[in-house]
Homo-oligomer: A and B are copies of this chain.
Amino acid sequence: MTIRDRLALTDDERMLQATLREFLTARLPSAELRSALDSDAGYSMTLHARLISELGVGGLTIPEDFGGLGLSQAEACVVHAELGRALYPGPFLPGCLAAAALLAAGDLAACQEWLPRLADGSATGTVAPAGENGSWQAGRAPVQAEKAPGGWRLHGRSWFVLSGQAADIIIVPAAAASAPGMFLVESGAPGLAVTPMTGLDLTRRAAALAFDAVPARLLGRGGDAAGVLEQVERHFLLATAAEASGGISWCLDLGVGYARDREQFGRPIGSFQAVAHQCADMLADLQSAAAAARYAAVASAAGSEDAALAARVAALRGGESYRRVAEAAIHLLGGVGFTWEHDAHLYYRRAWSAQQLAGGPQAHRAAIADLAGL
């Protein structure tokens, strides 16, 4: 199946997109989002449960024999784009990453125990790969694993853990004697301290995790953290690129709508060429970010040899475009865009945060140079 044939949305994908758009527009209007952000969990658990049960998106890329839909990255990114458009604050993305980690580690028992529960929403999960400087190098894992009589014990700290407070299971890379392996920690495990991190992105909370001799379950044979993290990172790159295209489309609709309606000097501000051209630039950003996200997702789904490069290109260009378009939307709105009560800054905050969590422009450029064969 060459990439070219799958680039246009299939009818199923179009259906999935429309259903999600309708669901989120009805159930997560601005007021609902705001009250979720003010709640302790930072998201509505009932809405999260409905999203997963009614639309079945919990187990999107989990194989059918583990209770999932067994769909590909192409479909998954349609979901990520719509959730990104609505700044959906629930632990959807972390759950996907946890599922990806479990599948990549290939521990059948762990998969059988947890994947069905991630799929039906009865359990939430996340991954904790990052040290204090945010980088994912498995080699210098910020957490050490020690083989104790009763089983493995983890020591150390990991930071920027998405939905760390909401997760029932946390998949952590930890350096053991040989190469680092992947470990599963259940929430509430003794010695595990989960503290929220004050963050820029109000619609996606991160936590810092402290491990003090925390009992953990080694996934698979161990020593495979590098390989597993690479696959998890691919999901993360594709998801953030798709979320970015969704957020950009919201900002474009906002900016163009305002440029049409807002009058100054007795005419719509969109009739001023500077404003009109900024809107055209925003459309160009949407067009390229959406195309890159789609191409990268389809390339990964098709296992094509330029999939890794496409994922980095999509993350880099999507991240830069999202930051630029979110700022342009605030600027177009003028004063009201700068207020706390208007939602524009929530997208600006997500754009900056997601870009850095996904590795940041420098990491992407370096990876692209490697993957392109320089």
Of A7-15, A196-204, A272-280, the segment with at least 4 beta carbons within 8 Å of chain B is: A272-280
Within 8 A of B (CB), among A254-301: 272-274, 277
> How many interface residues does chain A have, given as a range?
under 10
Cα distance A225–B274 in the bound complex, in angstroms: 53
* A272 to B271 alpha-carbon distance, docked (Å): 11
Contacts of A272 in B (CB 8 A): 273
Q: Using Cβ atoms and an 8 Å threshold, which residues of chain B touch A274? A: 273-274, 277
Interface membership of chain A positions 101-121, coded 1 if the CB is closer than 8 angstroms to chain B and 0 otherwise: 000000000000000000000
Chain B residue at minimum C-beta to C-beta distance from A274: B273
CA gap between A274 and B276 in the complex, in Å: 10
Q: Which residues from B are CB-within-8-Å of A277? A: 274
Complex: how many Å from CA A273 to CA B275?
Answer: 9
Q: How far is the CA of A306 from the CA of B277 in the complex (A)?
A: 41
How near does chain B come to A270, taking the closest CB pair, in angstroms? 12
Residue of B nearest to A277 (CB): B274
Which residue in chain B gives the minimum CB-CB distance to A275?
Answer: B273
Find chain B residues with CB under 8 A from A273 CB: 272-274
**In the complex, what distance in Å separates the CA atom of A272 from the CA atom of B274?**
9
Q: Which 5 A-B pairs have the closest CB atoms?
A: A273-B273, A273-B274, A272-B273, A274-B277, A274-B274
5 A-B interface contacts by CB (under 8 A): A272-B273, A273-B273, A273-B274, A274-B274, A274-B277
